[in-house]
Amino acid sequence: MAERILGIDVGGSSIKSALVDVDNGKLLAAPYSVPTPKPATPPQLLDVFGDVVQHFAPVDAIGLAMPSVVQHGVTRTAANIDAGWLGFPIERELHERTRQPVKVLNDADAAGLAEMRWGSGRDTNGLVIMLTFGTGIGSAIFIDGRLVPNTEFGHLEMLGRDAELHASARVRTAEKLDWPQWAERVNLYLAKMHALFWPDVFILGGAVSENYALFAPHLRSQAEVRPALFAGHAGIVGAALAAQLAR
C-alpha cells in the first residue's frame, strides 16, 4: 500500500492541503482548502492543522510549508503572519499533536523543491531562482539542483521599501493594477535580483502564475523566465516531498 504523505501550505488567505504521490508529484485528490484564521496565532493554526490531518486520516507523514524562515523545525520570522510564530517549535508541536513524522519548511522553498523535481526547473543546472507572488514575495535559490534554504528576497529594498510591498500579487489586487502595470513592477524586481545573483533561470510561481499568459508578454529579464508548472499547488507538493525526503 502506498504511503499517505500529506502536504499543507499556509497562505495569507487560505490553508491548502492534499495527499501527494511523492513518486510523481501528482495530487491524489482535489486540494482541501480552509480559510486562514485571523489572527493566525500558533494555537489557532495548530487546531486547523489537526483538523486537516483528521480530514485525510490515516496519514503516514506530514509536510508543512510556512510563510517563515524555518530552522531546525522552529519558525524564526513572521513578516506576514502573527508575531507569536517568532521562535515557535512548530515541528515538535505538530508532531506531538498528530503523532506522525513532520517536516516543516519555508513555503517558497517547498514550492521550489516541487518545481525542481517535477516542474519547470526539472533537469536544470546552474543557478535557478524560484519566486512566488502572493500576499508577499517568496524566494528559493537552487545551485545545480541543490536548495540554499530560507532566503527572504521579498524584503529586498526597492523604491525605498520592501519589494513585496511594491510587486506582490496582493499589491496588484489592492492597487487595481492591470497586468502590464504589474509586470513593470515585476521587471524592476527581476532586474534587481539579476544584478545581485546573475541567475540562469527565474521560475515565477504562486497562484498568479495561473494567469502567466496575460502578463508574460510584458516581462523583461536578462535571465530566462519560466512559469511554475504547479502554480498554486507547488507548496503542497513540495511540502509532501520534503516530508518524504526527511523520513
pLDDT tens readout for residues 94-134: 999 999 999 999 999 999 999 999 999 999 999 999 999 99
Radius of gyration of the chain (CA): 17
In this predicted model, what pLDDT tens digit does every residue of 213-243 receive, in sequence order? 999 999 999 999 999 999 889 999 999 999 9
CATH topology match: 5-109+234-246 vs 123-228: yes
Assigned CATH for 5-109+234-246: 3.30.420.40
H-run or E-run covering 35: strand 32-35
Domain residue extents for the chain: 5-109+234-246, 123-228
Q: Please state which CATH number belongs to domain 123-228.
A: 3.30.420.40
The phi-psi region of residue 136 (left if phi > 0; otherwise alpha if psi is between -120 and 50; otherwise beta) is beta
What pLDDT does 145 receive? 96
pLDDT band of 12, cuts 50, 70, 90: confident
Q: Are the beta carbons of 86 and 106 closer than 8 angstroms? A: no
In whole angstroms, give the CA distance from residue 118 to residue 213. Answer: 21
In this predicted model, what pLDDT tens digit does every residue of 166-205 receive, in sequence order?
999 999 999 999 999 999 999 999 999 999 999 999 999 9
